Amino acid sequence: MEITLPIVIVSLLFYQAYLYGKAVYMRRMVMMKRVTMFLERTDASDQLKMLAATAFVDSLSLKLPFQLVSFRKKRQDNDPGAKRAERRAKENLRKDRSSLHARQELDSLIEMMFTINLSFNKPLVILASLPHFRVERKPVPKDFYAESFQHGHMKIKEMC
Amino acid sequence: MAEEAKDPGWVKDLSHETFQACLAFYDKNPVIGSIGFLLLLSSVPLIIVLRYMTKMKRVDNQLIVDKYRLELEASAKKMKRKSSKAAVRAASTTTTAGG
C-alpha cells in the first residue's frame, strides 16, 4: 500500500496530462481542417461562423463545465437574463439564412467540441456537477444586514 | 544583512530544526513523502510537455480567430459592394424617373 498508492496517484496525473495532449493533437489534426472548411463556406452566415470559431476555442477550455452548470442553474431558477439570452438565440437562428447542410455541419462541430472537452475534462465535470459546489458568490442579503447593524447601514448603501 | 553576517547562529538553528521536523514528518507518514518525491522527479517532463501543449493550443486559437476576422472583413466588403450597387441602381432609377 505504501508503495503502490504514490505510484498510482502520480500515474493518474501523467494519464491526465496524456489525455490533454491527445485532445490538443486531435483538435489540431481533425477539428481544425473542418473548422477552416466551415469558415470558407459561402452558404453560412457570419453568426454560424462565429459559433464555429468559438466552439473551436472552447473545446480546450477548462471553464466550460462550470459555465454549463451555472447556465443550467440559472435556467432552472427562471433567471430573466438566461431566458432573454435563450430567446434571442432562438430568434437569431430562425432569422438566419444559411443552408441546412451548413447547420448540420455546425451541429457536428459542436458535438465534436463536447467530445474533445469531455475526453480530458472529466475531473472538473465531476467537480462542477457536485450539488453544493459553487464558484460564483451568493448575493448578500442586504435588508438583513441593514437591520441588524445600524452602523453598517450607510456602508452597505454606499457599496450598492 | 550585516547583523546576519555577524551572528548566523539562529539561521543555522532554524534550518536545522525545520529539517529535523521535515524528516520526522516523512518518517511518520512515508506515503506523503514518496508522493512528493515522485512529483519532484516528474515535474520537469510534465512542465515541458504541458508548455508545448499550451503553446500549440494558443497558436491554433490565434489561427482560427484570425481566419474568422478575415472572413468577417470579406463579408463586410461584399455587403458594402452590394449596398453601393443598390444605391447606384436606385440613383439611376431616380434620375431616369426625374428626367
CB contact under 8 A, A56 and B67: no
**Measuring CA to CA, which residue among B67, B50, B70, B64 is closest to residue A113?**
B64
Does residue B99 carry a pLDDT above 50? Answer: no
Higher pLDDT, B97 or B44: B44
A62 close contact with B: CB closer than 8 A: no
Q: How confident is the model at residue B3 (pLDDT cuts 50, 70, 90)?
A: low
CA angle A149, A155, A159 (to 5 degrees): 130
Nearest beta carbon to residue B53 from set A24, A36, A46: A24
pTM: 0.73
In whole angstroms, give the CA distance from residue A27 to residue A59. Answer: 8
Q: What is the ipTM of this complex?
A: 0.73
Chain A residues whose CB is inside 8 A of the B67 CB are 36, 39, 53
In whole angstroms, give the CA distance from residue B34 to residue A2. Answer: 9
Chain A residues whose CB is inside 8 A of the B38 CB are 6-7, 10
Q: What percent of the residues of chain A are helix, what percent strand, and what percent coil, each to the nearest 5?
A: 75, 0, 25
Q: What is the pLDDT of residue B98?
A: 45
Across chain A, which has 160 residues, the per-10-residue mean pLDDT values are 86 93 93 92 86 91 88 84 86 84 91 93 88 65 55 52
Chain A residues whose CB is inside 8 A of the B63 CB are 32
B72 close contact with A: CB closer than 8 A: yes
Chain B residue with the nearest C-alpha to that of A4:
B31
pLDDT digit string (tens) for B14-60? 999 999 998 898 888 888 888 888 899 999 999 999 999 999 999 99
CB contact under 8 A, B53 and A21: yes
